[in-house]
Amino acid sequence: MDLQKLITKPKKGAKSIRAGEELTVVGQSVPRIDGWEKIKGAAKYTDDLEFGPGLLYAALVESPFAHARIKSIDISKAEKLHGVVKVVTGGNFTQKFGLYMNDRYVFATDTVRFVGEQVAAVVATDPKIALRGAGLVKVEYEELPAVMDAVKALEKDSPLVHPDLKSYTHVPWFFPKPGTNIAHWRKIRKGDLAKGFRDADLVMEDTYSVPRYAHCAIEPHSAIGLYDASGRLTMWTSSQSPFTQRHVFAETLKSFGLSHKDVRVISTYIGGGFGGKAGVTMEIIAAALALTVPGRPVKLLWSRAQEFYNTYQRLGCTAKIKMGVSKAGKITALDFKLHWDAGAYVEYGANVVNAAGLSASGPYKVDNLSIDSMCTYTNLPPCGAYRGFGYSEFLFGLESHITRMARELGLDPVEFRMKNAIKEGDTLPYGAHMNPTGIRDAIERVRKEIRWGVKEKSKDPKKAIGKAQVCFWKSPAMPPNASSSAFLKFNEDGSINILVSGMEIGQGLLTVMAQIASEVLSVPVSKIRVETPDTDRNPYEWQTVGSHVTWGCGNAVKRAALEARERILDLVQRVHCLDKSALYLEDQHVKCRTKPDFALRFSDFVINGIQAEDHTFKGGPIMGSGVFMPEFASAISDPETGQGGHPNVHYTTGSAGIILEVDRETGKMKIKKVALAVDCGKAINPDLVRGQIVGGLLQGFATVLYEDMRYNEKGRLLNPNFSDYKIPTVMDMPDQVVPIIIEVAQPDGPFGARGVGEHTMIPCAPLIANAVEDAVGVRIKSMPVTKEKVALAVKAAKK
């Protein structure tokens, strides 16, 4: 199996340092190294940074139409307002940009494509003046027919959102269809679908729909730009991806003479990301504005409403499933069509569609498989990364459908899943092979935890109790050459600074990186400092997305630590004439197996070197660097079948189960218990893994039970606030959450670790839908599964 070829250096290194020894720091729930700063209220987020009285503020002029031609823009009144420094329109910035598909402009130039799209900006000395100035810009529009629905957008006479699609550049693994609204069409064809359906004893077809969702990080996006006299653009951004931002800024603004070396992105702590801060959204506006006011910092801060309507949203999805199953409970065929509403610009969102298309079989062995994952432009706000990256959406349909089919055949839905669950070495939808996985263990442990098979009764006669168990998997969705790197530097006292550009977005990355280095170098976590990045000082990281940084950035840190260790051992061998193979690190000392009384303290030499017998000094500052790139990955495959590449690096799998109480009259649902088992390979910090499970589950349940972005027929978002887009409060916690950590090592992961951040929210939708059916006998096929839908369905079923 191809992963085996990959046994990377760190793995060997790990063996040589501590052959047979127990891990001492990895696997421990050490307190977060960023804990105190945050708990004291001292942690700085982007909007907390001070820029002095010269700071300028920007406000935007936004489109009131979902689709319109801009006829004219009159900025004369705004320019005259006292305190207005600059009014900027799209004409100044004509370079299109995007992460995977270059389909966006900094400002709409001749056409607006969604309600809220930026048309112009006013830069002023005060935020109030900027807003008042924006109100004085007069834009004349000619409204155009708009399309708000991904399925209608495929009809022949649908308005085209991007008539010039043919001229857009994009990554080679995207397949847009110019002349239509299809921005990308990921196809998977495996086995013989027709035969699979012929072999089936039951074929069931249905459609499941999922609306758009908002990330709702509590910190809104913010960005400050400063273009200085040396021709350097410095950006302070609330970002999961400072290096990706630097690249997009440099590429988009290169006509102003900027190259990558001139662009510097500094990211502080961020107040939640969930994918919403993964790419470049409003930050490009601040970057562009900075160029128009050289020498003066300019800030753009999103309001909560803008946070809702003009950052990425989660894509809406209509999923059509046709599945064939044998009496024995084997999935014989799956034909899965996913229609994605990706919005007005798909520069990031199209990759969600791609990722879902590659993996929509779920964690099951499906030999005869057809997947069409279609990314469609609509005149709604642009969509992009959201924790789960398309998997929550297809799992709602898939895991609902599996339970229904199992029940229809009289099979136990959990046993059914156990039978079909993927194994190490099985062929994946795109032809590569499955990594080691603990999915069966996960199914078994969750099954026990929720007392599957034992029917429970509510004490309240108005209520019924239902149970459900589902499985999930997810892979990081990343370009094949996405890489991570790390620098590690020792200080005089033996303490360490680690520089990485993986972002601390709440998950605890800084702590986990410190634990990895600590384990290799025997320096306690308390003596290691890891901070958020500055692209000038810190080495490259692709993005902090896809649950990949513990794995990717962790590998880089481990390699950097091993390199530092090698330097230490080389030096000691050279100066003390001890054989390197006998040397080891323990408790911040170099020790020697053959010479028990030898112990050289790090603080005695890691900067100033070791004094030799002739009084000279050897060595010098000890440091290490590490780079990790998954060199086995490839995104190139046959566009008609998806076969041939190796687009996904590995899958994290798991299972989740629920005990749900449903009020038959009101539809109100109460989660009595939820258990989630996830195979994270190795939990470097179990407490932080539990944090991901508990937090991810609540975020997931909210998308099923009450969250929902609602648009009117004109494409205007009706609930751009927390008053009507309800995110859970402490009152909405499940009664009991049981996190279960499974550890089947990932061969190429640091200490066997693989990602876990997104996986914890993706099984929630089918869990609720299946448990509702188990409890009260109604099947809800559209998210959210609100109490209203449940109550009205129960009422209708009675009639």
Binders of another protein among residues 76 to 105 (CB under 8 A) are none
Q: Which is nearer to another protein, 262 or 504 (CB)?
A: 504
Nearest-approach distance from CB 28 to another protein, in angstroms: 12
Which position among 64, 83, 272, 609 is part of the footprint of another protein (CB under 8 A)?
Answer: 272
Instruction: Tell me how far apart the alpha carbons of residues 514 and 516 are, in angstroms, rounded to a whole number.
Output: 5
The closest of 144, 95, 139, 147 to 118, measured between CA atoms, is 139
By C-beta, is 57 or 416 nearer to another protein?
57
Residue 41 found at the interface with another protein (CB under 8 A): yes
Place of tokens 């190259």: 259
Task: Give Rg (Cα) of the chain.
Answer: 27
Q: Which of positions 735-774 make contact with another protein (CB under 8 A)?
A: 737
Least distance (Å) between residue 130 CB and another protein: 9
Q: Decide: is 19 part of the binding site for another protein (CB under 8 A).
A: no
- For another protein, the binding residues in 125-164 under the rule CB under 8 A are 127-128, 131-132, 135
- Bridge-based pairing state of the strands 528-530 and 496-500: parallel
Contact pick of 10, 25, 34, 288 for another protein (by CB under 8 A): 34
Per the structure block, which two tokens stand in for 33? 């190294």
Contact pattern from residue 278 through residue 317 relative to another protein, giving x for each residue in contact according to CB under 8 A and a dash for the rest = -----------------------x-xxx------------
Q: Which of positions 315-354 make contact with another protein (CB under 8 A)? A: none
Which spans in 360-412 are helix H?
391-408
Contacting residue, 48, 149, 228, 372, with another protein by CB under 8 A: 48
Q: Which of 216, 530, 549, 569 binds another protein (CB under 8 A)?
A: 216
Least spacing, CB of residue 687 vs another protein, in Å:
5
Nearest distance in Å: CB 242, another protein: 16
Q: Taking the complex as a whole, how short is the minimal distance between the CB of residue 174 and another protein, in angstroms?
A: 31
Query: Distance (Å, rounded) from C-alpha 598 to C-alpha 601?
Result: 10
**Burial classification of residue 48, based on how many CB atoms lie within 10 Å of its CB (0-12 exposed, 13-18 middle, 19 or more buried):** middle
Cβ 57 to another protein shortest distance, Å: 9
Minimum CB distance to another protein smaller for 319 or for 698: 698
Of 659, 658, 668, nearest to 462 by C-alpha is: 668
304 or 451: CB nearest another protein: 304
DSSP SS3 for 302: coil
Alpha-carbon distance of 246 to 227, in angstroms, equals 14
Tally of CB atoms within 10 A around 219: 19
- Residue 412 C-beta: closest distance to another protein, Å: 30
Structure tokens of 417?
């899943």
Query: Is residue 545 a contact partner of residue 386, using CB atoms and an 8 Å limit?
Result: no
Nearest distance, CB of residue 527 and another protein, angstroms: 18
The edge-to-edge listing of strands for the beta sheet with 222-227 is: 84-89, 118-124, 56-62, 298-301, 222-227, 233-237, 263-267
Residue with smaller CB distance to another protein, 41 or 410: 41
Neighbours of 412 (CB within 10 A): 16
Judged by beta carbon, residue 271 or residue 480, the one nearer another protein is: 271
Amino acid identity of residue 686, one-letter, is P
- Of 126 and 155, which CB lies nearer to another protein in the complex structure? 126
Asked if 728 touches another protein (CB under 8 A), the answer is: yes
Find the binder of another protein among 727, 745, 779, 782 (CB under 8 A). 727
Of the residues 38, 166, 537, 601, which one makes contact with another protein according to CB under 8 A: 38
Q: 143: part of which helix (H) or strand (E)?
A: strand 138-143
Tell me how far apart the alpha carbons of residues 517 and 558 are, in angstroms, rounded to a whole number: 6
When the beta carbons of 495 and 507 are compared against another protein, the nearer one is 507
CB of 394 to another protein, least distance (A): 23
ω into residue 784 within 30 of 0, thus cis? Answer: yes
40 belongs to the binding site for another protein (CB under 8 A): yes
DSSP secondary structure letter of residue 769: H
Distance CA 474, CA 496 (A): 34
Closest to another protein by CB, 93 vs 274, is 274
Rule CB under 8 A: say whether 577 interacts with another protein: no
Residue 162 CA neighbour count, 13 Å, CB half: 29
How far is it, in rounded angstroms, from Cα 348 to Cα 30? 35
> 328 vs 718, which CB is nearer to another protein?
718
- Write a three-state SS string for 550-613: HHHHHHHHHHHHHHHHHHHHHHHHHHHCCCHHHEEEECCEEEECCCCCCEEEHHHCCCCCEECC
> Contact with another protein (CB under 8 A): which of 615, 729, 798, 799?
729
- Looking up tokens 């249905």 gives 206
Integer Cα distance of 773 and 757 in angstroms:
29
Count residues near another protein (CB under 8 A).
Answer: 79
Choices 39-47, 413-421, 541-549, 550-558; region in contact with another protein by CB under 8 A: 39-47
What is each CA distance from 600 to 320, 349, 442, 590, in whole angstroms?
66, 54, 45, 5
CB distance 377 to 163 below 8 Å: no
CB under 8 A: which stretch of 33-41, 394-402, 544-552, 638-646 binds another protein? 33-41
What is d(CA 509, CA 668) in angstroms, rounded to the nearest whole number?
37
269 part of the interface to another protein, by CB under 8 A: yes
Q: Determine if 641 is a binding residue for another protein (CB under 8 A).
A: no
Sites for another protein among residues 671-710 (CB under 8 A): 687-688, 691, 694-699, 705-706, 710
Q: Which is nearer to another protein, 374 or 659 (CB)?
A: 659
Residue 732 within binding range of another protein, rule CB under 8 A: yes
Interface map 500-539 toward another protein (x if CB under 8 A): -----xxxx-------------------------------
Cβ 124 to another protein shortest distance, Å: 11
The reply on whether position 270 binds another protein by CB under 8 A is yes
